[in-house]
Structure 1
Amino acid sequence: MTEKLILDGNRVADWMKEVLVERIGVLSKRGIVPCLATVLVGSNPSSATYVKMKGNACRKLGMRSIRVDLPENTTTSELIEEINKLNEDPNVHGILLQHPVPPHIDERTAFDAIRIEKDVDGVTTLGYAQNAFGIAQFPSCTPAAIMAILAYYDLEVAGKHAVVIGRSPILGKPVSAMLLNSNATVTTCHSRTANLEEIVRLGDIVVAAVGKPNFVKGSWIKQGAIVLDAGYNAGNVGDVDYKSCLLNASAITPVPAGVGPVTIATLLKHTVDAAER
């Protein structure tokens, strides 16, 4: 069997963080400490864990982390008021509103309240549009992480057929745009795509972002394809059936330790970028 390339996200993230430490050191000499503010509405335990992880990651690199915890009954206007306080704080360089918010909140309006220069998670409508044009300062972090993994391992994108399974505005759609801007031919699939298995089999690059555990089967994967699993489900399970997909793939991300660590490193990078600007 041909040797498989396991796309180690921890390795990519560690390399990114090494570079960031140097940049943070330069900023500190100017009296600037990159600062990420995270906003959590309600008490969703998974969201609380993610916010804690991001805060810890900041501190390990010598960055500041501000955490804003709001009660479950917070209104859209109250949430926007808190976001605007962070927008006006010159010591805050990046703002992350943890998804999902409680259902009574207008999440899109809240996302769009974040100033573009502090939208380090790439969630605003303007940031999405800039990403489509290939000019985003801060593209959505998970799509940017996928592109970073491909670049780190020097995997060719131009001229390849990329199949993206998922069309969310912060993952499937923006990664489709980024791949297209990198000269791939892109097919974006979703829950209503007919003949999904046959379409996935055409992919030289397959991005799984559907939010269903072990959804993509090994029989769907073309021999020699690159498989990037952007899913994370209960029990540390991705959207790809890893063992069966490994048989045909030439390169594949594991879950955990694949796209996830690079997503967090990308968020930190964007915050440092914002501080430098």
Structure 2
Amino acid sequence: MGTPRSVRVGGTVDDHGGAAGTSAARTPGGKAVDLRTDVAHSARIYDYLLGGKDNYPADRAASGAITKDWPNLPTSMRANRAFMARLARHLAAEHGLRQFLDVGTGLPTSPNLHEVAQQVRPDARILYVDNDPIVLVHARALLTSTPEGRTDYLDADLTDPDAILESEPLRALFDLREPVAVSLLAILHFIVDDQVAQGIIDRLLAPLPAGSLLALSTATADSAPDEVNVGVAAYNAAGIPTVARDKARVERLFDGLELLDPGVVLVHHWHPDPEEPAPDDAHVHIYGGLARKP
């Protein structure tokens, strides 16, 4: 569920040959990074559970341990990806936004936010933000755009919002006289302290003009408390601090903003596509919502 940090689960041999932990690659800026394929990584766990191929034995082992008691986690992840796509389309079509700040990007999994937004607004500009080596390596796949629009990638940490706001890519990409859509999708459950999470949100939105929008999604146990609480405990036992918030706690993350229809709901209930199959509520463990800065 997102990409905050990595977790050691023991040495393995990776699928691409060679000893795990020795795989290296370069970021789009040319910086060498060690992918640490012997360490389970939340981005690659997410990728594996979505059916992707950018994962290693350590990631698959950790995924098995987590989903043993949280079997509907993959369903929740797929519902969150579908939420992202509907959200991007809604922001571009219904609100006319063309500036998107996506924090906690994770590995590229098509459709990506820019692909959806630029279908509606070819001139849309998207800044992806993440701080994980595996995501940096795959950032080239994100650096594509329509001729009219732009995309860029920023290596920065969600817990340091000033580094995001003061970055050259943000200043180059966005006109802060116009509204910006900030998306924090499937990432805030790794910020377990509500006050810290609120402080991050407040700081990210502070310099943005009125009419800017905040979209977030985060884990909840409301829909399946026994399953989710055991699964969250497995994440924490693996060294990935994780929290499942109830609806009231998620709503408080929007304090000071105008929460838009339909409010905070399980993500598959947020402006659902009637042509999409609807999962059972008990199988979706992520709340989502959208709010406007007054």
TM-score by length of 1: 0.37
Greater relative contact order, per chain length (Cα 8 Å cut-off, separation 6+): 1
More helix by share: 1
